[in-house]
Structure 1
Amino acid sequence: MEEKIGKIKYLALSFSACLILAVNFLYWRQPTLGVAFGLIYLIFCGFIGGSLFTLKKGWQIIFGLILIFASIAIFGALAIYFYRFTDYLFIFLLFLIPAGLFIPYGQTRPKEKFFLFRTLKDYLEKFSERQEPKANSLLVFIYLFFAAGGLIFLFEGQTAEAIQSPWQTVNRLFFLFYFLATATLLAYLFNSRRTKLPLLLLVSHAFLSSGAALIVYKIGFGFDPFIHQAAEKIINLAGTIAPKPLYYLGQYALAVFLSRLTVLDISLIDKILVPFLFALFLPTVAYYVFCHWLEKKYALILALAVLIIPYSGFIMTAPQNLANLFFIITILLSFLYFQDIVKAPVLYFLALAAIAIHPLAGIPLIIVVFLLNLFKVFYKSYRQYLSLYLFTSLIFIFVLPLVFLVNGSGLDLAPVLSRANWPRPVWVEKFDLPLDLAYLVYQNKIFIFGLIILAGLYYLAKHKLLKNNAAYLAAAFIVFANFLLTKYFVTFPGLNENDKSQFVNRLAILAFYVLIPYFLIGLYWLLKTWLEKSKSGARLNKLFLIFILAGGLTISLYFSYPRLNQYEPAKFFSLSESDIRAVNFIEQTAAPDHIVLANQMVGAAAIREFGFKKYYNNQFYYSMPMGFPRTLYDYYLEMVYGGAKRETMEKAMNEAGVAEAFFVINKYWDNSEKIAELAAQTADETYFNVDEGKIYIFRYVLGPNKK
């Protein structure tokens, strides 16, 4: 029976929740109250908003939350850019969301009044009717045991030291527990009679997968998040930021809104945002999409198997990562667009949210949505309009290069294509069997994923469904063509070659995301074919399949995080308490005008502690390897690799127009002791007392005190 909340109850619930949250935000400032009523508010508004999307019980909350978060990202970004996201604008938005949903919700089809206790009673009755076999209940308890064990290992591995990989501090048994938890969960999903409990376990497993960095790194993981958290703090206090960027504002608005809603520290909100939303939305949306196509057990398996795609972009919060999540959700939901379950405006709306968060994902997404929309419009006269569709699609090949050129990038009409690093099959043999197998899979993942996508295309063609879904091929080709043109013909003056490669490669990842429906269909066909291959050995086939899938998911987990082993060098160290102590020590002892030459994580510590405090000649007063110009960081590299000469520090001070500078070298840097010895001979003052020599600090002064 479909039910609806009555008008009086709706107004009473929404107004009460909004009033309590507003008063708590303005006066009480109680995080417990904020979290409790914030969750009630989000669940209520999610249910109401989702009821406009679907009438399936339980799913209203999931899709309502997606749409509400998208709305906040769009509205908040506009507010920050054109005005300010003030406290009172937050309160206005707080009341506006349920008020704006009131009339549309009143026009929805269900006429039966909603009663919470009756709904719970009905659910409990259905729960008892769908009695699980004892073996399934046992599998659930076994899964919870191994998942809890894995979680304990992660918490035991927590550290505030500078590390290169979370696996340095986490017990290796974590991988065994994760593998066994995954295998047990797969065994349960193959036989489950329920839906909500498996989905709850899927969400918990996804968070166990994406939340490792959130748990292990006490201070925070990565570099970019500290930059964005500092910007969010400014917006939270001032309502805007200067200069106003045309990107990132969607994430900033969402973080600010949730921080004000719950009265939690905005840095905490930022840290958990993407890992949590990834765990909540990806498996649930994947299941919802494929349960319209496949048997329930296969839809559940695919909802877990989507984690076999390495998810390094979703283990920390950054605008690109959040926008990519909206990208994947939109692509998955678009599969239902062709079945008239999802309407085109919903897809465009999510694409606009992605643009507000990060245009590098949002612009390709809106192109993809347009091409899918156009394909469906032309579909009834497919042959007649095929050439027109292809011609229209080709126009979008040049969109992103043109956007970059308008935004100040350069054009290279004579690229060196011979330097193209095209993927090749790789054989791995380092005489460590587990890692050899893992790296063999990982380093050949493009070919493995390509074969699975081809399997999906074969399945669709075999069932005469390929023509219906051919638009994804065209859209993926357009995004990939944009990637190639940008990679080889567009220059980025503010980026070095390595940073440019990482930046542009994001487009190639998006092209793959467009093909995710094919990938999952191919995976389904392979799974089903294997299980049906031999009826006599069905149990053995299933066990083998569970072993392979659990192994693949464990490999994906390992490679979704930084590694430190004999196969590849780790790229950077994490922010540590020593870095934070060092920047606070400098701040307490330095003159108001000074610069600091240090590696980027020390700069991240300064941004975390003091925000974007000072700039000299458009450069942050701590040397940073990004942006333009970045001469202070060049001077830092000259100090590190050029003998730590005093002349280098004096050039840096003269360029910045200051009389005091600090040179900071972390002990983990190559040849740090030798560099420190050389710097000690030229510095005016030396400080070694930062956590027993974990960081060396040297002070240089222009004028009469110089050596």
Structure 2
Amino acid sequence: MAATWPNKSPLLIWSSALASLACHPLAGLPAITIALLSSLPQIRQHWQKIIKWLAVALTALVLPLSLWLTNWQHTKKWQLGKPPINTFLASLNHVFTFSHLWPNQEHWLLNLIYGWQAWQPIVAIILILTGWYLLRNNKTVWTSILKSLNLSLIIAIIFTSLIPFDFVIDYERYNYLARFSWLAIIINLPAAFMAFGLLAKKWLDSHYKKIIWPIIIALTALIIFSLYLTYPRDDRYSHAQGLSTSQTDFLAVQIIENQANDDYIVLANQQVSAAALAQYGFYTGKHQRYLQDDIFYYPIPTSGVLYPYYLKMVNDYPSRQTIAEAAKLAGVHQAYFVLNDYWYGFEKLAEEAAAEADEIIKIANGAIIIFVYKNL
């Protein structure tokens, strides 16, 4: 079958791609690649191959290079590491374990729902592979674009796996690679839809139409299960605390900002940090937001150097020495430790922190306690 070009408006394609890029580069760059590849018919013949490989390189190289640059900005080292093969194999092993695919910790309905959650990526991959098998002789432009994009993503994943991401906290270090994997699944969903559509058509043309209602009921149940899984849950499989930034968190950051007589740091959880970002942003106001060595004055879990100090305060012991080390790193002499009452071991932590703090500020009947450390 000869390749045919879709009769779509270039303006629509490019505006959608640019909108994706404005939202997030991880989704936007592949979208720009698709836009470039879809524009090839409007380009002179001898330029088409060059533009095609430039588009492929855009996704294959720009994303890993930008992540490598980000790694250098935080670590000041142009370094590469070994691919996390052992971590990948461990994750793969977990995905295919019997207990993961066939959970049995709750009543039958929840077991069924979480079983569907475990099977979702596997079902998606099976449908994608089936779709590509059915499309193996279908040489349309969009299959050509998807093949080029898949090549780009494979190269991007390989290069990104070499970046150590030492500036990111341990449990989020491989998030970028995981996002690439999900991006690959999303990009190949058209093949999955094609497979689903062709299989549905073959089934409807067959002699097994009598089971249409059981299939409709099953698909409806899976949609309901998926909807349930999008909500915060509290059961034996998931314990979503439903924490969000509260008005009390905003009040805490305002009190700290107004009380501080010099630049300072705050060791606090993500909700309080989010309140500070929303209230004061990244720009200098009464106090500096970026301190010595461009350290942000609140912990940022994904890459901030202060977050490990906060974890040390709440997981080990809230000592003055720990917060003094953080203050020295940021080049300040005043620091605050914010403790929310929903944190595990709140009462014990509050008692221990109070023993070494210079001042204690309680907000909303003790819902948040601010420990002040001066002259560090």
Give yes or no for TM over 0.5: yes
**What residue is the counterpart of 1:522 in the other structure?**
195
**What residue is the counterpart of 1:475 in the other structure?**
148
CA deviations on 1:432-463 (whole Å, 9 max, x unpaired) are: 212211111111212201222234345545xx
**What residue is the counterpart of 2:337 in the other structure?**
663
Q: Secondary structure at the match of 1:412?
A: coil
| Identity of matched residues, % | 30
Closer, same or farther in 2 for the Cα pair 1:354/1:411, shift >3 Å?
Answer: farther
- Superposition deviation, residue 544 in structure 1: 2.2
Q: Contact 1:412/1:488 (CA < 8 Å) preserved in 2?
A: no
Q: Contact 1:400/1:486 (CA < 8 Å) preserved in 2?
A: no
Closer, same or farther in 2 for the Cα pair 1:435/1:507, shift >3 Å?
Answer: same
Distance 2:36 2:162 in 1: 25
1:597 to 248, 255, 267: 267
Closer, same or farther in 2 for the Cα pair 1:578/1:338, shift >3 Å?
Answer: farther
**What residue is the counterpart of 2:173 in the other structure?**
500
What pairs with 1:213-612 in structure 2 (closer than 5 Å)? 338=4, 340-344=6-10, 346-373=12-39, 397-405=60-68, 409=72, 410-412=78-80, 414-421=82-89, 423=92, 424-425=95-96, 426-460=101-135, 465=138, 469-534=142-207, 537=210, 541-570=211-240, 573-612=243-282
Closer, same or farther in 2 for the Cα pair 1:516/1:536, shift >3 Å?
Answer: closer
Q: Contact 1:457/1:466 (CA < 8 Å) preserved in 2?
A: no
CA deviations on 1:510-546 (whole Å, 9 max, x unpaired) are: 2222212212222223434444444773xxx343233
Q: Contact 1:472/1:515 (CA < 8 Å) preserved in 2?
A: no
What amino acid maps onto 1:428 in structure 2?
Answer: P
Distance 1:460 1:340 in 2: 17
**What residue is the counterpart of 2:366 in the other structure?**
693
What amino acid maps onto 1:431 in structure 2?
Answer: E
Q: Contact 1:564/1:570 (CA < 8 Å) preserved in 2?
A: yes
CA deviations on 1:160-196 (whole Å, 9 max, x unpaired) are: xxxxxxxxxxxxxxxxxxxxxxxxxxxxxxxxxxxxx
| TM-score normalised according to structure 1 size | 0.44
What amino acid maps onto 1:354 in structure 2?
Answer: S
Quick check: 1:680 aligned with 2:354? yes
Q: Secondary structure at the match of 2:336?
A: strand
Distance 1:487 1:563 in 2: 33
Q: Contact 1:650/1:702 (CA < 8 Å) preserved in 2?
A: no
Distance 1:505 1:571 in 2: 24
Closer, same or farther in 2 for the Cα pair 1:571/1:390, shift >3 Å?
Answer: farther
Closer, same or farther in 2 for the Cα pair 1:487/1:551, shift >3 Å?
Answer: farther
Q: Secondary structure at the match of 2:173?
A: helix
Closer, same or farther in 2 for the Cα pair 1:395/1:700, shift >3 Å?
Answer: closer
Q: Secondary structure at the match of 1:446?
A: helix
Q: Contact 1:603/1:622 (CA < 8 Å) preserved in 2?
A: yes
- Superposition deviation, residue 695 in structure 1: 1.8
Q: Secondary structure at the match of 2:106?
A: coil
Structure 1's unaligned 5+ residue stretches are 1-336
What amino acid maps onto 2:246 in structure 1?
Answer: S
| TM-score normalised according to structure 2 size | 0.78
- Superposition deviation, residue 361 in structure 1: 2.1
What pairs with 1:19-58 in structure 2 (closer than 5 Å)? none
Q: Secondary structure at the match of 2:235?
A: coil
CA deviations on 1:46-81 (whole Å, 9 max, x unpaired) are: xxxxxxxxxxxxxxxxxxxxxxxxxxxxxxxxxxxx
Structure 2's unaligned 5+ residue stretches are 73-77
**What residue is the counterpart of 2:75 in the other structure?**
none
Quick check: 1:645 aligned with 2:319? yes
Closer, same or farther in 2 for the Cα pair 1:684/1:401, shift >3 Å?
Answer: closer
Distance 2:209 2:162 in 1: 57
The number of residues matched between the two structures is 352
Distance 2:242 2:148 in 1: 35
Range moving further from structure 2, 614-623 or 647-656? 647-656
Distance 1:619 1:588 in 2: 21
Q: Secondary structure at the match of 2:219?
A: helix
Distance 1:500 1:623 in 2: 16
Q: Contact 1:455/1:525 (CA < 8 Å) preserved in 2?
A: no
Q: Contact 2:67/2:160 (CA < 8 Å) preserved in 1?
A: no
- Superposition deviation, residue 481 in structure 1: 0.6
Distance 2:51 2:135 in 1: 21
- Superposition deviation, residue 691 in structure 1: 2.8
Distance 1:405 1:437 in 2: 41
Closer, same or farther in 2 for the Cα pair 1:407/1:636, shift >3 Å?
Answer: closer
- Superposition deviation, residue 611 in structure 1: 2.7
Closer, same or farther in 2 for the Cα pair 1:655/1:420, shift >3 Å?
Answer: closer
Indicate the RMSD between aligned Cα atoms, in angstroms: 3.6
What amino acid maps onto 1:508 in structure 2?
Answer: S
Q: Secondary structure at the match of 1:620?
A: coil
Closer, same or farther in 2 for the Cα pair 1:582/1:546, shift >3 Å?
Answer: same
What amino acid maps onto 2:215 in structure 1?
Answer: L
Range moving further from structure 2, 525-534 or 552-561? 525-534
Distance 2:13 2:57 in 1: 21
Distance 1:524 1:681 in 2: 67
Q: Contact 2:5/2:140 (CA < 8 Å) preserved in 1?
A: no
Q: Secondary structure at the match of 1:435?
A: helix
Q: Contact 1:401/1:482 (CA < 8 Å) preserved in 2?
A: no
